[in-house]
Each structure stands twice: as structure tokens, then as C-alpha cells.
């Protein structure tokens, strides 16, 4: 009996192992500003307290922390990340690039960006733009979670932390609400392809827990199983700017080049058609020359008169062409000469047409060098590049901060 029980236990363990092994994996990365509530969200998601959470300006998470959860249909890996903070304290450019590398290396399926209405730094809008440009976020692979602290005066202001009481007067609260609404509009315009959810932090925490529970269930059941993130489109911002510039230049080039090429093509086709017609006429004329040669040879080989000369013992008969035959030969020779002149004339015309075609081909080849000088091309390029001016601004912003941070470190 013991043996049977042991055997059953082993079988059940193998079955359980097989089920776990067959499960698919879903990897979720949680990112956001320092103190925005990333670790709190991770704890709700994992139904644990493994992630350290603290609503303050100091980042609690100093490195990537991953926890594994076994769900019914898949294994969920949740990763908390270092928070973006004020540029005076941390190098955001490095954190952002570390996140990008991590997403590519670990093949992350889903990104949760946690935003806090009330705890924001001056550079957060630049960070959000950077994320939009570097990560291919959409409804199938991302969630923008906005934490809205309501009725909690302690979170009215982050930048003026020492003056919280003064900032939480009724006039300032309404001003803060207006700023929050403006920021919310900015978030919606920035992440147009992503799903945006909002959690209202209430003084009644039970209501907040309920909202979190509904959101977490929706994520586990609907979002995570279908999550897909195209890692080939996770790009460094500098590389993406270069690619976009080249793409826009190519777009404007084709916009003007293709019609011009078609115009050249039509001209060349027309000239080539003329060459074909000339060649056909030349062939007809050559056939006429051959026919004239044939007629001349026929007349030459068939003289019309016979004359006998010499003495009787060595008399010899000679054949002579009649006057009519001679006139025919002369006329045919004149016709042949005129026909050959026509052939030569057409060959000269053909040569001129070929020279025109060569010139058109040369102009067509140099078209790519001429188009950038066109005013219309410059206008097109300016309009096309308008969308990536913001990208360049974001890149320059972080590079300038990075340079300042390096100088400070060197001075220290």
C-alpha cells in the first residue's frame, strides 16, 4: 500500500511539474516617478508585501526587483524598477536606458507606467515623452496607471514640500486641480495608443483597495494573457531620431522625385518609340535596296541583243544590253542611291534621339542632387520633421543634464 501511495505521489508531482513547465510566461515591468506608487501597485498585483513601498521623494527601489506568481494559465513575473527622480539626485538618462535594455534583454511583455497627480518633478513631462518615443506602447502591451490622491492634504505639493500647509488652502487646491487636469490631458495626448486607468486614493482605504482589486483582476484576466510587445521596435532615442530623419527625408525625396522620374520616363518612352519607328522604316528601306539590287542583277544577267564578230573560222557571238535595259539599270541605281541617303538620314535622326535619351538618363540620375535645393522640398522636410523636433528637444534635455551631472561628479 505504501508503494502505491508513493507511486501516486510521484505521478502527481510529475503531472504538477509538467503543468508548470507547460505554462506560458508573462513578464510585467512597472516603471514611474519616485514615490508615484509603483511598489504599492506591485504588492497589490502579487498580493504580497515583498515590494518596499513609501510615498516620499526618496527612491526605495534602488535596483530591479522581480517576484514570480503562479496563476492558473500562466506564470507571472512582476518587476519593480528604480524610480525617476529629480535630476539633482539621480541620472535619469541612465535609468531610462537601463529600463530599455532590461525590456529587450528580459523580453518584457507588458509595461505599467505609474503616474501620480500630486508627486511630480519638473522633468517628468520629458521622461514621459522619452518613454513614448523609445517604447512601442499600445493597448495590447501597456497600461498608464494614474494615482489620484484625493482628500489627502499631505500630497498637495511635492516641489514645495516645506510649505504643504500653505499650498493646501482652498484657492491653491483649485489651482492644483486645474494643473492636474492639464497634466492629465498631457498624459492622454502623449500616450494616445495606451489604456489609461485611474485609481482614486481615498481616506477610506477600503474603497481604494476595492478599486485596486478590480484593476488587478482585469489585468490578470484580460490584459496580461494577450500582452505583446515588439522588442525590435524598442529603440535608443538617438537612433530613432536618426531613423526618423532619414525616413522623412526619403518621404520628401520620393514626393518630388517620383513625379519627376515619371515625367522623364514618359519622355524616354516616347523617344524610344520614335527609334523603333525609325528602325522599322530603315528596315523597309533596306528591303527596297535589296529589291533594287536584285532587279539590277537580273537585268545585268539577261542582255537583250546578240552580235557576231570576226572571221568565219573564229567567229564569236557577243551579248549587248538594249538601251531600254541600260536606262532601267541607271534608274534603279538612282533609286538605290536615294534610298541609301534616306537610310543614312534616318540613322542620323536615330543617333540624335539616342543622345537625347542619354541626356535624360543623366538628368534623371542627378535628380536626387537637385531636389534638396528645391524650396518645396525644404518646406516638406520642415513639416515632416516638425513631429521629431520634440524628440530632439527631449534628447538634448537629458544629454545636458547628463553633462551637468558628470561635471558635478568630477568637481566632487
- Distance separating alpha carbons of residues 317 and 397, to the nearest angstrom: 113
**What residue numbers bound the domain in which 74 lies?**
24-234
Whether 411 is in a domain gets the answer: no
Alpha-carbon distance values, 133 to 238, 333, 337 (Å)? 10, 82, 77
Question: How much is the average pLDDT of 32-58?
Answer: 78
Whether 361 is in a domain gets the answer: yes
Q: Are 216 and 259 members of one domain?
A: no
CATH number at 130 reads 3.40.50.300
Predicted confidence at residue 186, as pLDDT, reads: 86
- For residues 151 and 203, the answer to whether their CB atoms sit within 8 Å is yes
- For residues 75 and 24, the answer to whether their CB atoms sit within 8 Å is yes
Q: Are 227 and 124 members of one domain?
A: yes
Predicted confidence at residue 25, as pLDDT, reads: 92
User: Is residue 361 over pLDDT 50?
Assistant: yes
Whether 8 is in a domain gets the answer: no
Q: Are 264 and 195 members of one domain?
A: no
CATH number at 354 reads 1.10.287.370
- For residues 388 and 248, the answer to whether their CB atoms sit within 8 Å is yes
Q: Are 136 and 250 members of one domain?
A: no
User: Is residue 95 over pLDDT 80?
Assistant: yes
Q: Are 210 and 252 members of one domain?
A: no
- For residues 234 and 135, the answer to whether their CB atoms sit within 8 Å is yes
Q: Are 219 and 262 members of one domain?
A: no
Predicted confidence at residue 176, as pLDDT, reads: 66
Say how many domains are in the chain. 2
> Which residue, 173, 206, 234, sits at the end of a domain?
234
Whether 43 is in a domain gets the answer: yes
> Which residue, 234, 269, 287, sits at the end of a domain?
234
Determine the Cα angle at 330 with ends 329 and 331, to 5°. Answer: 90
Q: Are 97 and 131 members of one domain?
A: yes
- For residues 329 and 304, the answer to whether their CB atoms sit within 8 Å is no
Predicted confidence at residue 6, as pLDDT, reads: 63
Asked which of 8-12, 27-31, 188-192, 199-203 is least confident by mean pLDDT, the reply is 8-12
Q: Are 218 and 315 members of one domain?
A: no
> Which residue, 234, 259, 291, sits at the end of a domain?
234
Q: Are 219 and 110 members of one domain?
A: yes
Predicted confidence at residue 382, as pLDDT, reads: 83
User: Is residue 89 over pLDDT 60?
Assistant: no
Q: Tell me: the pLDDT tens digits for 307-354?
A: 655 555 566 666 777 888 888 888 988 988 999 999 999 899 999 999
Q: Are 345 and 202 members of one domain?
A: no
- Please state the pTM of the whole predicted model: 0.61
CA nearest neighbour of 269 among 371, 338, 353: 353
Highest mean pLDDT among 77-86, 215-224, 390-399: 215-224
Whether 10 is in a domain gets the answer: no
Whether 239 is in a domain gets the answer: no
C-alpha cell, 50: 515583498
Show the 3-state SS of the chain: CHHHHHHHHHHHHHHHHHHHHHCEEEEEEEEEECCCCHHHHHHHHHCCCCCCCCCCCCCCCCCCEEEEEECCCEEEEEEECCCECCCCCCCHHHHHHHHHHHHHHHCCCEEEEEEECCCCCCCHHHHHHHHHHHCCCCCCCEEEEEEEECCCHHHCCCCCHHHHHHHCCHHHHHHHHHHHHHHHHHHHHHCCCCEEEEEEECCCHHHHHHHHHHHHHHHHHHHHHHCCCCHHHCCCHHHHHHHHHHHHHHHHHHHHHHHHHHHHHHHHHHHHHHHHHHHHHHHHHHHHHHHHHHHHHHHHCCCCEEEEECCHHHCEEEEECCHHHHHHHHHHHHHHHHHHHHHHHHHHHHHHHHHHHHHHHHHHHCHHHHHHHCHHHHHHHHHHHHHHHHHHHHHHHHHHHHHHHHHHHHHC
- For residues 154 and 71, the answer to whether their CB atoms sit within 8 Å is no
Whether 7 is in a domain gets the answer: no
Predicted confidence at residue 57, as pLDDT, reads: 44
Whether 283 is in a domain gets the answer: yes
Q: Are 201 and 271 members of one domain?
A: no
Q: Are 198 and 257 members of one domain?
A: no
Amino acid at each position: 500500500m505504501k508503494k502505491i501511495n508513493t507511486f501516486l505521489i510521484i505521478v502527481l508531482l510529475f503531472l504538477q511539474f509538467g503543468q508548470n513547465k507547460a505554462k506560458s510566461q508573462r513578464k510585467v515591468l512597472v516603471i514611474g516617478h519616485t514615490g508615484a506608487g509603483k511598489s504599492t501597485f506591485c504588492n497589490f498585483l502579487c498580493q504580497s508585501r515583498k515590494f518596499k513601498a513609501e510615498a516620499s521623494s526618496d527612491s526605495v527601489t534602488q535596483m530591479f526587483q522581480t517576484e514570480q506568481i503562479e496563476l492558473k494559465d500562466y506564470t507571472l513575473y512582476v518587476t519593480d524598477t528604480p524610480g525617476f527622480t529629480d535630476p539633482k539626485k539621480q541620472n535619469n538618462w541612465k535609468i531610462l536606458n537601463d529600463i530599455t535594455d532590461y525590456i529587450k534583454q528580459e523580453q518584457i511583455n507588458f509595461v505599467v507606467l505609474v503616474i501620480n497627480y500630486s508627486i511630480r518633478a519638473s522633468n517628468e513631462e520629458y521622461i514621459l515623452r522619452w518613454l513614448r518615443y523609445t517604447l512601442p506602447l499600445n493597448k495590447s502591451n501597456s497600461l498608464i496607471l494614474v494615482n489620484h490622491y484625493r482628500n489627502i492634504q499631505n500630497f498637495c505639493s511635492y516641489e514645495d514640500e516645506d510649505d504643504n500647509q500653505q499650498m493646501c488652502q482652498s484657492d491653491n487646491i483649485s489651482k492644483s486641480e486645474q494643473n492636474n487636469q492639464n497634466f492629465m490631458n498631457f498624459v492622454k495626448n502623449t500616450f494616445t495608443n495606451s489604456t489609461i486607468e485611474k485609481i482614486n486614493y481615498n481616506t477610506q482605504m477600503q474603497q481604494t483597495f476595492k478599486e485596486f482589486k478590480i484593476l488587478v483582476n482585469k489585468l490578470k484576466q484580460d490584459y496580461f494573457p494577450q500582452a505583446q510587445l515588439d522588442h525590435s521596435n524598442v529603440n535608443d532615442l538617438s537612433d530613432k531620431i536618426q531613423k526618423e530623419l532619414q525616413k522623412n527625408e526619403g518621404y520628401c525625396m520620393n514626393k518630388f522625385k517620383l513625379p519627376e522620374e515619371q515625367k522623364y520616363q514618359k519622355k524616354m518612352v516616347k523617344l524610344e518609340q520614335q527609334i523603333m519607328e525609325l528602325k522599322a522604316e530603315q528596315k523597309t528601306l533596306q528591303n527596297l535596296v535589296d529589291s533594287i539590287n536584285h532587279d539590277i542583277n537580273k537585268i545585268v544577267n539577261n542582255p537583250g541583243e546578240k552580235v557576231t564578230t570576226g572571221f568565219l573560222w573564229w567567229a564569236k557571238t557577243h551579248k549587248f544590253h538594249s538601251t531600254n535595259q541600260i536606262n532601267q539599270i541607271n534608274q534603279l541605281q538612282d533609286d538605290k542611291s536615294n534610298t541609301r541617303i534616306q537610310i543614312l538620314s534616318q540613322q542620323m535622326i536615330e543617333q540624335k534621339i539616342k543622345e537625347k535619351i542619354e541626356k535624360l538618363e543623366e538628368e534623371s540620375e542627378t535628380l536626387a542632387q537637385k531636389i534638396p535645393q528645391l524650396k518645396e522640398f525644404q518646406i516638406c522636410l520642415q513639416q515632416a520633421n516638425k513631429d521629431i523636433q520634440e524628440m530632439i528637444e527631449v534628447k538634448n534635455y537629458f544629454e545636458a543634464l547628463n553633462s551637468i551631472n558628470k561635471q558635478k561628479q568630477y568637481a566632487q
